[in-house]
Amino acid sequence: MPLPIIDPHHHLWDLEHNRYPWLQTRPLAPRLEGDIEPIAKTYGIKDYLADVQNQSVVKSVHVECGWDPDDPVGETAWLQSVADKYGFPHGIVARAELDAPDIEKILAGQAEYKNVRGIRHIVCWHRDPVKSYGCRPNLLSDSQWRRGFALLQKFGFSFDLQLYPLQMAEGVDLARSYPETLIILDHAGMPVDRDEEGIRTWREGLGGFAATPNVVVKISGLGAFDWRWTVDSLRPFVLETIDTFGIDRCMFASNFPVDKLYSDFDTLYGAFHSITRDFSPDEKRRLFHDNAERYYRL
């Protein structure tokens, strides 16, 4: 029987009916991911299910993906309707800008939808503006932003943390300051800078998060930092993340359709399987299925 897979990080978008400024504003702005024109088109649940059809994907988690920032709950309402009709996605990580003046109202609105499990507010800031996501530096330490973060516990939400290694010291402080809130580190901590200093910063930051019990990590999105990746180029980042956090605190994810820019789903998951070939069946099941089920409460 094939190993069941839960994909805890993918996206859907409907450009004909909804607003996604980053995908619709022409000309498309330069981005970390490279030329995004191939994915700047509607990608619905049928497209996703076609992409994963050769893999034993039994559940999935949708992560917010740049919907109209003035209507964050609108994306969730749409996704819940998709889930109610098709069964996928089983979990939703919804959008909320935690420094918004009406953040409690936004979180209450998100909590109305049964598949919502957590919140994401991308905080990626980099000295190179092409790599930033429109964020300002030190947002993680901002008092108003932290007041919003403190409300997550009230609603029982986890938080998907997407940041760069240079921000990890602030991220670790955040995790230690709110030990009751589960933080799920996106994209293996986004090792974007591949020089010696950049790798050292990523490695030290990853270790800081691993020493903080309320943080787990998704191994995903690595194609954005390695457009022509191979199994061998991914292997050290995958294995070091697992070695640092341990089997029970890691999970594989696709980041589709963004990572469709670099490979198809079968090739990506084939790489994950190849890298973990010598792991035990139980270890593989935790990485590909059980940990995602546990942390996203599926």
Task: Choose among 196, 110, 203: nearest CA to 152.
Answer: 110
What is the pLDDT averaged over residues 274-295? 98
Task: Choose among 186, 74, 59, 63: nearest CA to 117.
Answer: 63
Domains and CATH numbers, the chain: 5-295 (3.20.20.140)
How close are the terminal C-alpha atoms of the chain, in Å? 21
Which residue in 81, 80, 75 sits closest to 106, CA to CA?
75
Q: Confirm if 21 and 61 have CB atoms less than 8 A apart.
A: no
- Say if CB 158 and CB 111 are below 8 A apart: no
pLDDT of residue 135: 79
pLDDT in tens, 162-205: 999 999 999 999 999 999 999 999 999 999 999 999 999 999 99
The predicted-structure confidence for 38-87, as pLDDT tens digits, reads as follows: 999 999 999 999 999 999 999 999 999 999 999 999 999 999 999 999 99
* 76 within 8 A of 46, measured Cβ to Cβ: no
Structure tokens given for 237: 């980042």
Phi and psi, residue 46, nearest 5°? -65, -35
Closest residue by Cα to residue 8 from 265, 255, 271: 255
In the predicted structure, residue 2 carries a pLDDT above the cut 90: no
Task: Quote the distance between the C-alpha of residue 37 and its chain's center.
Answer: 21
